[in-house]
Amino acid sequence: MEQTEKVVNTKKSFRVKERKSLLTPKNVPYVFIAPAVLLILIFTVYPVIFSFILSFQEVRGLEKSFVGFANYSRLFQDPIFYKSLLNTFQILIVQVPIMLFLSLLIAVGLHSSMLKGKAFFRISFFMPAITALVAASIVFMILLDEHFGLVNYLLSFVGVEAIPWLTTPFWAKVSVILVMTWRWTGYNMVIFLAGLQNIPSELYEAASIDGASKVKQFFMITIPQLKPVFIFTVVMSTIGTLQLFDEPFILTQGGPNNATMTITLYLYEAGFKFFDFGYASAIAYVLVIITAIISWVQMKLVGDE
């Protein structure tokens, strides 16, 4: 009995020693990054490489065969793919500026110093950003119903005729833009607000002493000082829009007549409706290239920092 206890004891102390020698300041960083790095290698880096290979293959059930650039050349002759690209860019070009303008407007309004209830406004505006896109899309799907939706009902009071929000190509796109704007404006507003709060107030004081008007101060101080925040919001919104999926999936399923088909929605259909994995991987890689180019151009346009 005593003996076994002794054995256990020495084992214990041995283990403690071993632990200490394993976790020296020298190798502790490797131990600490190991889980994250391993997971990223297995579940991101490997799939990214694998999907590149897949994009040159044709997959039929379990059979895979190399087909060179066949997927890509098919992609560049595919009218639906072109449409999904065009749709994504149309939405991007309209939605992001509108949303960021609104965000900035509200942030500047909220930032003006004499305002009461800032916290309340900030939280209220942020609320849409925490809901599931699925939930938001469902609510708007019902609100935007052509005949019985609340939005058309309210518009009828100002003499607007019933708008076929989800059933015509043009308005379906507008609907997607509306839902995106509803959901993300407050989020970007809070980022702008944080940026505004970081601008040193001495800059404004000096400017007012020099006699600069509020408007001039806005363009000479606020806008330039917010530049890094602008870059951040523009890049993030662009990347987000390029990956647009939930809203069109729920609101319109990509219709009518593919008017709200986006790159990601098309990828999903190719991959998981038609199980055309090679083709879907080619779509995915085009998305990667577009994202990389646009992010790079945006970084360049707004200047290196």
Partner 1 sequence: MIHSKKISSKIGIYCLLIAGVVLSIAPFYWMLVGSTLPSGEIFRLPPKLLPGDYLAKNFQSLNESLGFAKIFWNSLFIALVYTLISTLISSMAGYAFAKFKFKGKNLFFFIILCTLMIPSQVTLIPLFEMMVTFNWLNTYQAIILPTLASPFAIYLMRQNMKSVPDSIIEASRVDGAGELKIFFTVILPVSRPAMAAVAIFLFMSQWNSLLWPLITLNSKEMFTLPVALSSLIGMARIDYGQLMLGTTLSTVPIMIFFLLLQKHFISGILGGAVKE
CB of 143 to partner 1, least distance (A): 7
CB of 279 to partner 1, least distance (A): 10
Contact characters 163-182, partner 1, x per CB under 8 A? -------------------x
CB of 256 to partner 1, least distance (A): 16
Report which secondary-structure segment, H or E, holds 197.
helix 169-197
| Positions 35 through 64 that interact with partner 1 (CB under 8 A) | 35-37, 39-41, 43-48, 50-51, 54
C-alpha–C-alpha distance, residues 183 and 49, integer Å: 33
| Positions 136 through 165 that interact with partner 1 (CB under 8 A) | 136, 138-143, 145, 148-150, 153
Cβ-contact 145, 62 below 8 angstroms: no
Per the listing, tokens 């929000």 go with: 165
214: burial class by Cβ within 10 Å (0-12, 13-18, 19+)? Answer: exposed
Q: Across-strand partners of 64?
A: 59
Among 95, 164, 195, 254, indicate the residue that binds partner 1 (CB under 8 A): 195
C-alpha–C-alpha distance, residues 87 and 174, integer Å: 11
CB of 36 to partner 1, least distance (A): 4
* C-beta closer to partner 1: residue 165 or 249: 249
CB of 1 to partner 1, least distance (A): 32
C-alpha–C-alpha distance, residues 254 and 81, integer Å: 12
C-alpha–C-alpha distance, residues 212 and 64, integer Å: 68
* C-beta closer to partner 1: residue 96 or 141: 141
Which of the ranges 66-74, 82-90, 201-209, 237-245 carries the binding residues for partner 1, by CB under 8 A?
237-245
Our finding on whether 92 is near partner 1 (CB under 8 A) is no
User: What contacts 216, CB < 8 A, 6 or more positions away?
Assistant: 207
Q: Kindly state the DSSP code that residue 55 receives in the 8-state scheme.
A: T
Query: How many residues bind to partner 1 according to rule CB under 8 A?
Result: 92
